[in-house]
Amino acid sequence: MQKIVKTIIFLIFLFILSVFFIGLNRDTNYNTANQINKEIPDFKVSYLDKENFFTKNDLRKNNFTLINFWASWCAPCRIEHPILIRLSEEKNMKIVGVNFKDKKEQAKKFLGELGNPYDVSTKDMYGKQSVLFGIYGIPESILIDKELIVIKKFVGPLSVNDLNYIKEIIK
């Protein structure tokens, strides 16, 4: 009996450590460097207002798209909001907002107060779809081109430098 218990304990440790090892070598989506120049993953989020779904294919008609992950409860999202408003004036790029783990009413109140920079507003209530993009904390934004290839990923609030960078790229 004791032998069996010992073997099981040993195997549990072996299992945990091997998973750690696999985890280490895995190309984690969290690592933003690996996503650059690659196509974005398949995803399916619902619109903020409607129950229809918005998917990857809906992005193909835009020359450039900035996917921005935000929430009303996220203080830095307020900080970057003015930058998004400025970017929304760009003709060559659409902005898709993904409202992350938020309440619909509060999200709408947020946009009502600060202005709505999004061409399309979607929601990811449980944060599951956002994880596909390797979103860990918000705000984060992903700039993609017509072929849905990731050009750059912005972790944290967009800054004025980011604004200029994006303007330069989509010129």
Partner 1 sequence: MISNFGNLLLFISIFLSLSIIYLSNKNLKLNGNQITKNIFQLSLIQSTLVIICFFTLIAAFIVSDFSLITVYQNSHSMKPIFYKITGTWGNHEGSLMLWVIILTIFSFLFLIYNKNHPKKFRLLTLIIQNILIIGFLFFIILNSNPFSPLSPIPKEGLGLNPILQDPALAIHPPLLYIGFVGSSIYFSAAIASLISNYSEKNFASSIKNWILISWSFQTLGILVGSIWAYYELGWGGFWFWDPVENASLLPWFAMTALFHSIIVFEKRNLFYFWVIILCLMTFILSVTGTFLVRSGILNSVHTFASDPTRGIYILSFLSLMIFGSVFLLFKKYKTENYNLNQNSKETFVLVNNWFMMFYLVTVLLGTIYPIFTDALSQNKISVGPPFYNAIIFPVVVIFLIFMAIGPNTSWIKNKFDNIKLYFLILLGAILINLMIILFFKNFSILSNFIIISALFLILSSLKDFVISKKKNNLDLARIIAHASFGFLVLFIGLNHIFSVEKDYNMKIGEIKKFDNYSIEFKNLELKDFTNYQAVVGEFEILKEKDRNILKPEIRIYSNPKTLTYEASIKTSFIKDYYLTMSNIDRSDYYNIKFQEKPLMIWIWLSVIMIVCGGLLRFFKNAKNS
Q: Can residue 6 be called a binding residue for partner 1 (CB under 8 A)?
A: yes
Catalytic position from the list 66, 77, 84, 158: 77
From start to end of 62-130, where are the E strands? 64-70, 93-100, 120-124
Any contact of residue 92 with partner 1 (CB under 8 A)?
Answer: no
Give the span between the Cα atoms of 67 and 87, in whole angstroms: 12
- Catalytic, out of 48, 59, 74, 87: 74
Quick one: 12 or 50, whose CB is closer to partner 1?
12
CB of 75 to partner 1, least distance (A): 5
Tell me the pairing of strands 93-100 and 64-70.
parallel
CA distance 103 to 108: 9
Whether omega before 139 lies within 30 degrees of 0, making that bond cis, reads yes
* Binding segment (CB under 8 A) for partner 1, from list 5-13, 45-53, 60-68, 117-125: 5-13
Residues 139-158 interacting with partner 1 (rule: CB under 8 A): 157
- Cβ burial, residue 169 (10 Å; 0-12/13-18/19+): middle
Could you give the residue numbers annotated as active site? 74, 77
Residues contributing to the site for partner 1 (CB under 8 A)? 2, 6, 9-10, 13, 16-17, 19-26, 28-31, 73, 75, 78-79, 81-83, 85-86, 101, 113-114, 127-128, 131-132, 134, 136-137, 157, 159, 161
